Structure 1
Amino acid sequence: MNVFARTGISRLSPVQSGAAGMRVVATGLLVVMACVYLAARAFEDRHPALGFVRAFAEAAMVGGLADWFAVTALFRHPLGLPIPHTAIIPRNKDRIGDTLALFLKDNFLTPTVVARRMYKVDVAAAIGRFLDNPDVTGEGRLRQGASRLFATILDALDQERLGGMVKSAIGQRLRALDVSPMLGQALEAAMKEGRHLPLQKSIIDWAGQTLAANEDLIRAMVHERANTLLRWTGLDEDIANAIIKGLHKLLFDMADDPDHPLRAKVNEAFANLAFDMQHDKEMKAKVAQWKGVILDNPALQRWLDGLWEQARSGLLKAARDPDAVLAGKFGEMLRQLGQTLQHDVKLRTTINRFARRAAVGATASYGDGIVRLVSDTVRGWDAHTVTGRLENAVGRDLQYIRVNGTIVGGLVGLTIHALNVWL
């Protein structure tokens, strides 16, 4: 147990200690002036100079007492007496809160003031300097603290609920996305650039491999459908071989000839499909239906689960060890971005304009809310809390006023007494 607990004295902040010390000084000076006045009055007849001392002490007491009354009347009733127009701050705390809120609104939280201030702030350059060298001027500690805070928040959140929110958001975005025109445009662009040809060749190769693997199935089908005469003469086998050979030749010709008529038909089908996906309502509806089936597939949900877990693990790893992340390619990219922000005037101007508009927009949207927050907070404080906080904030200076009042009052009394003696 510390000395404050043993003695029953609460620990005071430096501001409170300073105010209390000056209160002792001001009160002690007033007591000294009272003692000097009593002593000078008792021995005033023994020497003329004591009259000046008495006049100084008398006026100093008046000045000190007047300033003590004025200072005390701000926060409470002097001597506990309900004197009118005292305890000004406790009685007017709501009006003080409203006035403070209006002061903030008129002088700080107006779009014009914020815009004028933001013109002087180079946000882009500051971000660029931080990204270029985040370890200077203590910013490394700031980065470490922000990283730990982010990691703690991310780790403390309900992962199942958070993952569900992320998956739900992704799912809603995908369901709201009209993918049919996008697929049609992508297919159309691929055909114009010839990027669909490898796909065609892959399909032809796959068809050839499938045909070779299922030749026995084709022979069995021809044998089952052939009549008894064809089977007895063995012509069914010749027909099956001819069909298989013809199909193989067709596929070989298509693979070797990019201008093969069947390839042209496939290209025409692709072109029609690309057009329909962009302009045909029925095709768009079918694509949307297929998209819904895919999104409802449990396999896709498991894939989203794994994607979220990978993203979360990566974020946690980066947040817990930002130095390792910044030491790699990602860090090099950030440093290059920082250098670009510092030297690219056009980009810096664009970012600063965005920051300025964002700040002005936030002020316009939330300035009144901040003002109400200040006003409601002050209104919610009890009178003792308001008095204590304001007295702690300005108490030391107010006690200096008492000291000055005592000294100035004494000097005025001394001057008046001197003029009275000399004139």
Structure 2
Amino acid sequence: MAQTQQLGTAAHPPHPDVAKAAALRRMKNIALGLLLFMAVVFCFAFALQPQFPWLAYVRAAAEGGMVGALADWFAVTALFRHPMGIKIPHTAIIPNRKDEIGSSLAEFVETNFLSEEVVSQKLANTQIAEKVGAWLAKPESAQRVATEGAAAIRGAIAVLKDDDVQDVIESLVRKHLLDPPWGPPVGRLAERIFAEGHHHALVDLLVDRSTTWIRSNHDTISGLVSDRSPSWVPGFVDGLVGDKIYTEIYKFARAVQDNPNHEVRLQLDKYLKDLAQELQHDPAMIAKAEGIKEQVLGDPEVRELAGRTWETIKSALTDAVEDPDSELRRKFTSAVQEFGVRLTTDDELAGKVNTWISNAAAYLVGTYKHEITSLITDTVERWDAEETSQKIELQVGKDLQFIRINGTVVGSLAGLAIFALATLIFG
């Protein structure tokens, strides 16, 4: 059983507060023991002084030591409680004035630590960008950032409601796509396209495809002529007319195809340019464009578009973050690592990042330092007075016991020096 307890003690070290309490008791016992030692020395020296006059010096030293020990015991004890339970004024300082102490501590932190000058100077000397860059440049660090980012995306996707996201997408579509009139912006875009001749490639494609179709469909065109001719017209006449019409149509198409300045092309350019102007300035044409917009993107269509958009984004993100080897994860990891390398090699970029961090921190400190330090004040105010005193004594009481020890030693030396000087002068 004893062996089991020893193993248990080794496996589970004591709580830090337990160790501090033991150290505090030990120092209190040392200080008390020194006081008792001085008291015993004083009693023996006082009793034997008539037989051994030199013991008067020992008595004086012991007497001074007791006075110093008692005075410093009173001073240390008065910080945390009333000495001997007697409510002497200006004792139990910490329990009685914990709120004022908390306010003073918050003010001290706010004045000396949370000032814009201190924060800016500290950050300027820290070179955060270079250190962050060196860390991000490591492959394992970039991978860790990607992993944490994937976890954040998974959490966001799990928290977000599909209906809420769809409502946001739908509102954005309506605000930026449906509410503005389509006619003027489409007309301005078309005007630039037509003015720079970018539409000619499309016209060439349509003309080429039309000419190719005509060349390959002689029977179809001739058949259309035969089908629409009167029944009394002989068949060979239909054939001749059909061939003639086919030939003329093909010649016309070839002419349009071969001549960039053909009248058809010029008229088409004029029509398109006029259409671009009407879309911008003609109320009737603008109204037609709005009607087309409403037909194409009505309420059901917009809602369906928002739903499909979110489902696509959600599915793509989910697949990407779940797969460590996905293209998105690999590109993100590579981008993070490259950014880290740039921070360590590009002095201009690092300087900009450092300046941005410094300005952001200074702004936050200057704007919210009172709210930050209020955490100290509010926390201390919520503490129980007696418990607060015990916690503080547990943290600093061990060191304060040295005051009692030093007081005993200094008191002894002072008592001895005063007695010796008095004896020298008046003895």
8 Å Cα contact 2:143/2:333 also seen in 1: no
More divergent stretch after superposition (94-103 vs 27-36): 27-36
The equivalent of 2:66 in structure 1 is: 61
Q: Which residue of 1 aligns with 2:344?
A: 342
Output the CA distance in 1 between the equivalents of 2:214 and 2:381. Answer: 85
Q: 1:157 to 1:297 in 2, by over 3 A?
A: closer
Correspondence 1:416 to 2:422: no
Q: Does 1:36 align with 2:35?
A: no
- Tell me the residue number matched to 1:71: 76
Q: Relative to structure 1, is the Cα distance of residues 54 and 122 closer, same or farther in structure 2, using a 3 angstrom cutoff?
A: same
Instruction: Say which of 119, 127, 131 aligns to 2:132.
Output: 127
In 1, the alpha carbon distance for the partners of 2:262 and 2:240 equals 27
Structure 1's 359 and 61: CA in aligned 2 closer, same or farther, altered over 3 A? same
Larger Rg: 2
CA pair 288-106 structure 1, distance change in 2 beyond 3 A: farther
Task: After superposing the two structures, state which structure 1 stretch, 155-164 or 210-219, moved more.
Answer: 210-219
How far is 1:186 from its partner?
5.8
The alignment status of 1:230 with 2:230, answered yes or no, reads yes
Whichever residue aligns with residue 312 of structure 2, its letter is G
The AA in structure 2 aligned to 1:301 is G
Deviation at 1:78, TM superposition (A): 1.5
Equivalent position of 1:26 in the other structure:
31
What is the TM-score normalised by the length of structure 1? 0.74
TM-score between the two structures when normalised by the length of structure 2: 0.74
User: 1:147 offset after TM fit, Å?
Assistant: 6.2
1:317-344 Cα shifts (integer Å, max 9, x gaps): 56xx89x989x55544444433332333
The equivalent of 2:359 in structure 1 is: 357
- Shift in CA distance, 175/338, structure 1 to aligned 2, threshold 3 Å: same
Shift of 1:123: 3.1
What does residue 368 of structure 2 align with? Answer: 366
Task: Determine the C-alpha separation between the residues in 2 that align with 1:340 and 1:44.
Answer: 84
Aligned mate of 2:52, from 31, 47, 53: 47
- Structure 1 352/378 Cα, relative in aligned 2: closer, same or farther at 3 Å? same
The range that moved more, 277-286 or 76-85, is 277-286
Give distance in 1, aligned partners of 2:148 and 2:21. Answer: 32
State the Cα RMSD in Å.
4.5
When residues 109 and 134 of structure 1 are mapped into structure 2, their CA distance, relative to the original with a 3 A threshold, is farther
Determine the structure 2 residue equivalent to 1:309: 315
- The reply to whether residue 400 of structure 1 matches residue 399 of structure 2 is no
Equivalent residues of 1:94, 1:379 under 8 A apart: yes
**Paired letter, 2:342:** T
- State the one-letter code of the partner of 1:60: G
The one-letter code sitting in structure 2 at the alignment partner of 1:55 is A
Q: State the 1:119 CA deviation.
A: 3.1
Partner of 2:125: helix, strand, or coil? coil
- Report how many aligned residue pairs link the two structures: 407
How many percent of aligned residue pairs carry the same amino acid?
32
1:377 to 379, 389, 392: 379
For 1:389, the equivalent position in structure 2 comes to 391
**Alignment CA distance shift 1:130-1:50 (3 Å):** same
Q: Deviations over 1:13-44 (max 9, x none)?
A: 35454434323322332233333333433444
Deviations, residues 166-201 of structure 1 (Å, cap 9, x unaligned) = 555454444443686776666566556655444444
Cα distance in 1 for residues equivalent to 2:282 and 2:356 = 41
* 8 A Cα contact 2:110 2:373, kept in partner: yes
Matches within 5 A, 1:24-423: 24-133=29-138, 140=141, 152-157=151-156, 159=158, 161=160, 166-177=165-176, 195-204=198-207, 230-233=230-233, 254=256, 257-268=259-270, 271=273, 282=286, 293=298, 296-315=302-321, 317=323, 330-423=332-425
- SS of residue paired to 2:91: coil
Q: Secondary structure at the match of 2:160?
A: helix
Unpaired segments ≥5 residues, structure 1: none
The answer to whether the 8 Å contact 2:72/2:403 transfers is yes
Amino acid at match of 1:53: V
Pairwise CA distance, 1:70: 1.0
Structure 1 window deviating more from structure 2 (74-83 vs 181-190): it is 181-190
Tell me, yes or no, if the aligned pair for 1:119 and 1:356 is still in contact at 8 Å.
yes
